[in-house]
Amino acid sequence: MKANRLIDLFALYGVNAVLLVAFYFQLAHGELPCSLCNLQRVAFMLFGAGLLLNLWGKNPTPANYALSAIGALVGSLIGLMQMFLHVLPGTPPYGGAVLGMHMYTASYVVLTASIIYCVLMLSFQSCLQSIDVGTSSKDPRRSPFVRLAVGLFAALVIGNLVSVFVETGFHALYSDPHHYHLLYRGDPESSDATPSAGS
């Protein structure tokens, strides 16, 4: 396997880890993602999409890194916007914290680092392509580690589609959801435990 593909493989595992942590907070801690959180999840998927096309596609091109970088840029700007919403003293944060940073801040840091990753990979692509790591196989896409990373990424993308549909149904994304729209008869943004009448 070429060195650049191996690094992309590790990066795709990183994207999977981030999306898994987001699901952990959602399912284990009951922290429903807000509108901007959901959009940042898609941004991570976009970053992963360029890596997926590099690993799984027939003709990997530098344009895939451009896709990853632009996706990460959009996501980091969304994270920055959310940081501005919660940065004022006395403004309550949204959701839990990872390594002392609330998730939108952590997301901003990781997505900004992802842009730098894309720039570096593009800069050193020709150098990395000349390095072979491990045994060379006819089709590196058949490697079980690649299949696992791609399978996990696919499961997480589909899982997020199901999650957001259960959370919002056919409505716009909620700013401050407390309940899943399809599993609750009241207003999903109401923190009240009892459903509101007439909804």
Partner 1 sequence: MFIGFIPFLSGTVSLVLSLLGRDKAARAGWWLTTLLVAVWAVHHGSHHIPQFATYGSW
- Residue whose CB is less far from partner 1, 14 or 60: 60
Query: Are the C-beta atoms of 162 and 176 separated by less than 8 Å?
Result: no
- Residue whose CB is less far from partner 1, 45 or 121: 45
Question: Strands (DSSP E) along the chain, which ranges?
Answer: 97-98, 101-102
- Residue whose CB is less far from partner 1, 2 or 86: 86
Query: Are the C-beta atoms of 103 and 95 separated by less than 8 Å?
Result: yes
- Give the closest residue to 178 by CA, choosing from 169, 189, 187, 167: 189
- The distance of closest approach from Cβ of residue 102 to partner 1 in the complex, given in angstroms and rounded to an integer, is 16
Region of residue 29 (left: phi > 0; alpha: psi -120 to 50; beta: else): alpha
- The distance of closest approach from Cβ of residue 166 to partner 1 in the complex, given in angstroms and rounded to an integer, is 10
| Binding-site ranges for partner 1 (CB under 8 A) | 35-36, 38-39, 42-43, 45-46, 49-50, 52-53, 56-59, 63-64, 67, 70-71, 74-75, 77-78, 81, 84-85, 88, 150, 153-154, 157-158, 160-161, 164-165, 167-168, 170-175
- Within a 10 A sphere around the Cβ of 37, how many other Cβ atoms? 23
- The distance of closest approach from Cβ of residue 51 to partner 1 in the complex, given in angstroms and rounded to an integer, is 11
